[in-house]
Amino acid sequence: MDLAVNVLVVNAGSSSLKLGVLGEDGTVLAEHHAERWQGDTGPLKDFLTDAPDVDAVGHRVVHGGSTFTSATAIDDHVRGEIEALTALAPLHQPRALAGIDAARELLPSIPHVACFDTAFHTTMPSAATTYAIPESWQRKWQPRRYGFHGLSHSYASRRAAELAGTPDARVVSCHLGAGASLAAVASGRSVDTTMGFTPLAGLVMATRSGDVDPGLLVWLQRAGLSLDELEDGLEHHAGLAGLSGVGGDLRDVRRAAGAGDPRAGLALEVYVHRLRQGVAAMAASLGGIDLLVFTGGVGEHDAVLRADTTAGLGFLGVAVDSNRNDGPGLISADESAAGVWVVPAREDLEIAAQTRAVA
């Protein structure tokens, strides 16, 4: 396809729908965010009434499993393959399918492309994707570490490398929002990440636990928790919300900690501890670090978090200049061995670029 096209980006979340039309230079020509979307065509139909004409549609799909390793043109067969992966992402996959169905119904004559969050991480080596579980389990179910937030990590790591003028850089990308993960990126390729088979693994998040000893989960089930209770607790009542008692918004936790709430103070300490630990682990997977990148709602807007995180990473040669730490852009100190960048999240640009490359 000629690159001079308008791309409609459809980003269907677990309960919301984000729509945007991007021009060839990345300009957002029109956008709309429906907070409580029920999967119907109404919001998209209304949006298209006044939006510029579009030449292709790019859909964010959270899970591509082992089947989809890059953006893929959608036909009935591909749609069926995406649906077959629903068990791996039961909250997000049905919503992505609803977005695909609605857009294909309203725009049947133009190309539709699925852009997968997991695809970016399919370049990880086997040592980073393989679980040390019984061989019989591996043969029967073939579980692996998939990784998520790939569209964000792909854009943020590439953009930082472009800005720094170092395309072959070893980048640790920090996508920090309600969901949070890190990625180790070498010369544009993911070699490790903190999330695993599901988006529950890794860092402490707003309401998700991050890494928990599997033995504790077995113990909790034997102590009387049902599988449903365990899943609900780990997904919706853990993380910052579970630690602080004031909810999962880091701003609320910080305010409570400032007012002397010890639970909120501990929540901040745990959050930063796990984040520093994760950055160091990603740097180890890369054999060093050239660029550290913060993106996502928290990563972009919480200067205190960036300062607290990097304050414990001096052994990696990372240092932030307090006078620059308002972002976006370069925030590292002149003496820092690694460049520290704040890059605004633009999954829409990544989806549009992948769509143009395929459509």
| Same domain flag for 247 and 185 | yes
| Same domain flag for 11 and 68 | yes
- Residue 129's pLDDT is 98
Of 116, 151, 178, the residue that ends a domain is 116
- Among 25, 76, 117, 348, the active-site one is 117
- Residue 147's pLDDT is 97
Please indicate, yes or no, if residue 348 is contained in any of the structural domains.
no
| Same domain flag for 193 and 255 | yes
How many helices (DSSP H) and strands (DSSP E) are in the chain?
Answer: 14, 12
Please indicate, yes or no, if residue 127 is contained in any of the structural domains.
no
Share of the chain above pLDDT 70, in %: 99
Please indicate, yes or no, if residue 65 is contained in any of the structural domains.
yes
| Same domain flag for 292 and 224 | yes
Q: What average pLDDT does the structure give for the chain? A: 96
- Name the pTM for this structure: 0.95
Question: For this structure, is 117 an active site residue?
Answer: yes
Q: Which domain holds residue 90?
A: 7-116
| Same domain flag for 175 and 294 | yes
| Same domain flag for 262 and 184 | yes
| Same domain flag for 81 and 180 | no
359 falls in which pLDDT band (50, 70, 90)? confident
Strands 72-73 and 170-176: unpaired
Please indicate, yes or no, if residue 112 is contained in any of the structural domains.
yes
Please indicate, yes or no, if residue 155 is contained in any of the structural domains.
no
Please indicate, yes or no, if residue 160 is contained in any of the structural domains.
no
| Span between the terminal Cα atoms of the chain, in Å | 6
Residues 218 and 230 sit within 8 Å (Cβ to Cβ): no
16: domain CATH number is: 3.30.420.40
Distance CA 244, CA 269 (A): 11
Number of domains into which the chain is organized: 2
Distance CA 58, CA 354 (A): 8
| Same domain flag for 182 and 301 | yes
35 falls in which pLDDT band (50, 70, 90)? confident
- pLDDT tens by residue, 207-261: 999 999 999 999 999 999 999 999 999 999 999 999 999 999 999 999 999 999 9
| Same domain flag for 207 and 328 | yes
Indicate whether 3 pLDDT > 70. Answer: no
| Same domain flag for 102 and 246 | no
DSSP string, 17-83: EEEEEE-TTS-EEEEEEESS--S-SHHHHHHHHHSPP-SEEEEEES--TTT-SS-EE--HHHHHHHH
**Over residues 331-338, mean pLDDT:** 97
| Same domain flag for 40 and 98 | yes
- pLDDT tens by residue, 154-178: 999 999 999 999 999 999 999 999 9
Please indicate, yes or no, if residue 79 is contained in any of the structural domains.
yes
Please indicate, yes or no, if residue 309 is contained in any of the structural domains.
yes
**Over residues 143-150, mean pLDDT:** 97
